[in-house]
Structure 1
């Protein structure tokens, strides 16, 4: 018998500089260690109300239904799509990386009529290309990814809300990888639904998915519940099968649970609620705009250091996320060998990628609690040493000097 089976959990020290998860903020870990209370304890329901209010500020919205879905960030995605998409609905998914394909898969499981447009990985869509597809296809919903970590690209969303309003299209984005480290204006950009996660720029653990729903999205979800309950309106098509096939992810029921009725639906994940609340509190204490600027600075310093090392940044730099950088693996260098050496000799984790980028780029994250100068400098120093060890020659110290120069140009922003 393996005696480790009965050993206390004691994970090895790691500096997580990949595309997520990252090291959780110690303040979030302390919040998670708080004792449990009953789900209908007045203190608990007040924490739920506070969490909703805090995330309204982070999402920059007045949406009443701004809350948590218990589960990883994918739980938030599935809850929104399962609750909003009716069987047979035509949806449009602009695909510029792996997670656009994920939206397609989930939408197909909702029995949607899924249509895609694509650009090469490393690029993003122009608004006119998306509008042309909407005019041609006339979808009920536009399903987008804001930041796709597989390519490190950030899709501009600011002009898409007006396009969706003009064509009466529901507008959703998955902001798991970008939320908190890049601008996202739910109300100003006309977003009907957004989902996110804690384990990236919010500096927490995976396991809770903040979401926000516009009144238009709420109405779409509520109408489906009317059909399930045998109440039909003029808006419903005869013979249409609209049942939501998940109880757990039925946002109509989740709204009733988070609302003043507190109708029993599930037992709230108390420790994750505490974590999500603390993530939001910490970000708002810093200031959302300051936090976004911090992510931008450390991302830029990392890029400066990598280029100073003689490495090439992947993709359209104008549209990359603040918090994740793709690095082209030099010819003749075995990417996995470098990653293993960083992990085993320096306890630093960086990421590989997927699909057509498998083995071609590394992905390095500067996000959440790890969007810090010391983390960037440690990673650059270690990567330079490992690359030299494996035959990629650099000008010793040039990477750190380039990063220092970038920091010196923005004194006062670092944390």
Structure 2
């Protein structure tokens, strides 16, 4: 007979990698609240509250602001599958691992995918994006805002106006950036944006916030009617296109909308957690949370430099919530990461593709964007580096971080 394991009892970890991160305690408490029925008045009221909270997080008035049940990739797939029809031209600028993911999903939707690339560690000048839009004439621009594989943050401020001028839908994946970096869905002209909870929003993976402009909703709904053989005056002409049932945004919008048409059973505990992530952020103040990420990110940046580590990529375009550092020569990267985890209970990350084994990625996100987490990580990293033969200044990381915090305080 197979032995029955005991209750789940995970070790205590300080998750200082590129995500997932340690959740806010109040988020974990919210997720332990009692379940209610799918159409219980409390449930539907909580869904409505969550939509309004995320309008504040995204900085949007979009009525179509809701959650997709699934990880951040579920949100990406829902947006792209629902907006793309076979043969659509889709432009994907790639500056890291997750640009390649957007291109792959667009290909699965049978789009005609066009990619442009810059070396990892850089971002695209706006002029390069506009030139590509003029050349490719895409139906959709799919662009990552913050790519954790490289830690780079793509500027979005001027791209929405360019897309609108050329009749292009503008979608961005803000999984790694939302909540810790500026994001203005309406002011920047986004048609669709998706994220996840497990990074700056300070929750577990498993729910994907999404917001859609009226233009995006019109396209989704008109295509759904065409597929059903329904035509109305003024409808956008759109042939049949590939669409998942689970990720069909037309159906999901009806589920979250006033008609509450059944589509799936909402993930109640994840809804509670997502609601609390947004509530915590807005209670502290969206700008205050972004500033907290900036201050702690700058302290971590100063700290790794104080240890003599080389920072990867264009620091001027780095996300505030994660930094990549070159692994010193002679230090076994994965073994050193294991020592951080096993001896100090602190997790930092490696990377993908051309950066695998070359850099560590260290995050300061959500609940962990705080002074004690930064200083503990730097002190542990110093010890581990010295153990593997790296010449690092005594207390160099901690002292540099404290100096950065002092400078931030002086500037207030």
- TM-score class, shorter-chain normalisation, is over 0.9
Aligned equivalent of 2:399, options 401, 407, 410:
401
Question: What is the CA deviation profile of residues 74-131 of structure 1, one whole-angstrom value per residue up to 9, with x for unaligned ones?
Answer: 0000000010001100000000000000000000000000000000000000010000
In 1: Cα distance, 2:213 partner to 2:393 partner:
53
- What secondary structure sits across from 1:411 in the alignment? helix
Per the alignment, do residues 177 and 412 of structure 1 end up closer, same or farther by CA in structure 2, a change over 3 Å counting? farther
Conserved in 2, the CA contact under 8 Å of 1:60 and 1:185? yes
How do residues 225-264 of structure 1 correspond to structure 2 at under 5 angstroms? 225-232=224-231, 240-242=239-241, 244-264=242-262
Instruction: Summarize the alignment of residues 258-407 of structure 1 with structure 2, pairs less than 5 Å apart.
Output: 258-407=256-405
Distance 2:286 2:103 in 1: 31
Partners of 1:53 and 1:397 lie apart in 2 by 46
Segments of 5+ residues of structure 1 without an aligned counterpart are none
Tell me the CA shift for residue 43 of structure 1.
1.0
Partner-residue secondary structure (3-state), 1:176: coil
CA RMSD between the two structures: 1.4
Q: CA deviation at 1:208?
A: 0.4
**Structure 1 residues 162-241: aligned runs within 5 Å:** 162-232=161-231, 240-241=239-240
Q: Any residues of structure 2 matched to 1:46-65 within 5 Å, and which?
A: 46-65=45-64
Distance 2:53 2:157 in 1: 23
Q: Work out whether residues 195 and 212 of structure 1, in 8 Å CA contact, stay in contact via their aligned partners in 2.
A: yes
Q: Normalising to structure 2: TM-score of the pair?
A: 0.98
Q: CA deviation at 1:223?
A: 1.1
Inter-partner Cα distance in structure 1 for 2:231 and 2:26: 49
Structure 1 counterpart SS, 2:124: coil
Shift in Å, 1:231: 1.8
Name which of structure 1's ranges 385-394 and 226-235 shifts more when overlaid on structure 2: 226-235
Distance 2:90 2:382 in 1: 45
Which aligned pairs between 1:61-210 and structure 2 lie closer than 5 A? 61-210=60-209
Deviation at 1:237, TM superposition (A): 5.5
CA contact (8 A) 2:223 2:240 kept: no
Cα deviation, residue 245, structure 1: 2.6
- Are the structure 2 counterparts of residues 341 and 227 from structure 1 closer, same or farther at C-alpha, using a change threshold of 3 Å? same
* Residues 383 and 65 of structure 1: CA distance in aligned 2, closer, same or farther (over 3 Å): same
**Distance (Å, rounded) in 2 between the aligned partners of 1:335 and 1:236:** 53
Whole-angstrom CA distance in 2 between matches of 1:68 and 1:227: 25
Q: Any idea what the Cα deviations from partners look like across 1:254-278, whole Å, max 9, x if unmatched?
A: 0000001000111110000000000
Tell me the SS of whatever aligns to 1:142. strand
Distance in 1 (CA, whole Å) between partners of 2:256 and 2:123 is 36
Describe the superposition over 1:135-190 as per-residue Cα deviations: whole angstroms up to 9, x where unpaired: 00100000000000000000000010010011000000000000000000000000
- C-alpha change, 1:2 and 1:298, in structure 2 (3 Å) is farther
In structure 1, distance between residues paired with 2:237 and 2:281: 45
Q: Which runs of 4+ in 1 moved over 3 A?
A: 232-238
Separation of aligned partners in 2, 1:382 and 1:249: 43
How many correspondences in the alignment? 411
Are 1:199 and 1:205, in contact at CA under 8 Å, matched by a contact in 2?
yes
| C-alpha distance in 1 between matches for 2:293 and 2:23 | 15
Contact 1:92 1:134 in 2 (8 A): yes
Q: 1:241: how far off?
A: 2.7
Aligned mates of 2:236, 2:15 — CA distance in 1: 49
- Please tell me whether the aligned partners of residues 293 and 413 of structure 1 are also in contact (alpha carbons under 8 angstroms): no
Aligned-residue offset at 1:232: 3.8
Unmatched tracts of structure 2, length 5 or more: none
Q: SS of the counterpart of 2:258?
A: coil
CA drift at 1:413: 9.9
